[in-house]
Amino acid sequence: MVQLHLKREDESQFLFNTKVDVPLEALIQQITSIYNGRLKVDRICSEIPELSDHGITLPPNMQGLTHEQIVDLKLRDEWQDKCLPSGGPVLRRDKMGKRNGRGPNEKMKEVLLKTMEAAKALISKNHVLANVYVTTEIVKEALDQLRGAVTIVYPTGLPPHDPIRMEFENREELSGAQASLQVITEDECQLWWAGKELQSGRKLQDYIGRNEKSKIVIKIQKSGRGAPAREPVITEEQKKELILHNYRRRQELTKLEVADDDSHLESEWSDTQALKRQFQGLTDIRWGPR
């Protein structure tokens, strides 16, 4: 199996196992599915703390309004009594005015937060350092765990406009948001290796050869952005180790130079014949006229 280290720009994303004879269309489909699935898990996890604190999302026409404005406009949240958390709601006002302020109790809150941490761990970028592969099944498991936890806490479901429910139903609205810049669809996805774009219609082995034990870095990028920056010859860690090695080597050479210094042999105290000459009266002898 070939190990692919997926990066976007210079940031590691995940490790993926494949074969050299895989068609690049299939490889792109698999990689974009995992890449975008991980982003979806991250987006849901970013909403879970708000859900656990302040309850379901208000209808769009009520978001950002104060209680007085809602009363004056005679607006009513028809989902407030339909989407109640298990064990009853706990009042926690949302200062941002996005959620209805009727969050779950502490026990149900813990269910949401623990599941969130477990889901994030499944798709963590730290798996790259631990040499752990990510698959579509793992991403699906993370989403299923989140969906299950939300169902336990909100057995009647979330309102259709809640971003968590929209994510589960693939109806998320990302236009105009920073998250939209991160998503890469299958149609616009490009894979780059060693400064070359891996073209559809070919196989991975056409670029890297037939060695199934290869380990390569693949850059994922949106089409139309040109070639991404190539990987440095040595990594930052290797660069730091090289600098440290050179520093230690210079210290060792300095110590050796000091140890090899024989200039002290010209000093009087190092003269092994000095005592003998002193007894023979041969010290302080000068040649030539005074």
Q: Are residues 218 and 244 in the same domain?
A: no
How many independent structural domains does the chain possess? Answer: 2
Q: Are residues 166 and 252 in the same domain?
A: no
Structural domain for 180, as ranges: 2-222
Q: pLDDT tens-digit profile of 120-149? A: 999 999 999 999 999 999 999 999 999 999
Task: Indicate the pTM of the whole model.
Answer: 0.79
Quote the pLDDT of residue 46: 96
Do the domain assignments include residue 275? yes
- Both tokens assigned to 146: 């989140």
Count of C-beta atoms within a 10 Å radius of residue 196: 10
Percent of the chain with pLDDT over 90: 66
Q: Is 170 exposed, middle or buried (0-12, 13-18, 19+ CB in 10 A)?
A: exposed
116 with 46: CB under 8 angstroms?
Answer: no
Q: Are residues 128 and 179 in the same domain?
A: yes
Do the domain assignments include residue 70? yes
Q: CA geometry: angle at 90 spanning 88 and 91, to 5°?
A: 135
Do the domain assignments include residue 207? yes
Q: What are the mean pLDDT values of the chain's consecutive 10-residue runs (290 residues total)?
A: 93 95 96 97 97 95 88 90 94 92 96 97 95 96 98 96 96 86 93 92 94 93 83 72 85 75 60 66 61
Quote the pLDDT of residue 262: 59
Last residue of a domain, one of 200, 222, 244: 222
Q: Are residues 140 and 242 in the same domain?
A: no
Q: Are residues 116 and 203 in the same domain?
A: yes
Q: Are residues 90 and 198 in the same domain?
A: yes
Look at strands 2-8 and 215-222 and give their pairing: parallel
Last residue of a domain, one of 199, 222, 245: 222
Do the domain assignments include residue 33? yes
Q: Are residues 155 and 245 in the same domain?
A: no
Q: Are residues 82 and 121 in the same domain?
A: yes
Do the domain assignments include residue 290? no
Helix axes 136-153, 106-122, angle to 10 degrees: 170
Calpha distance 276→269 (Å, rounded): 13
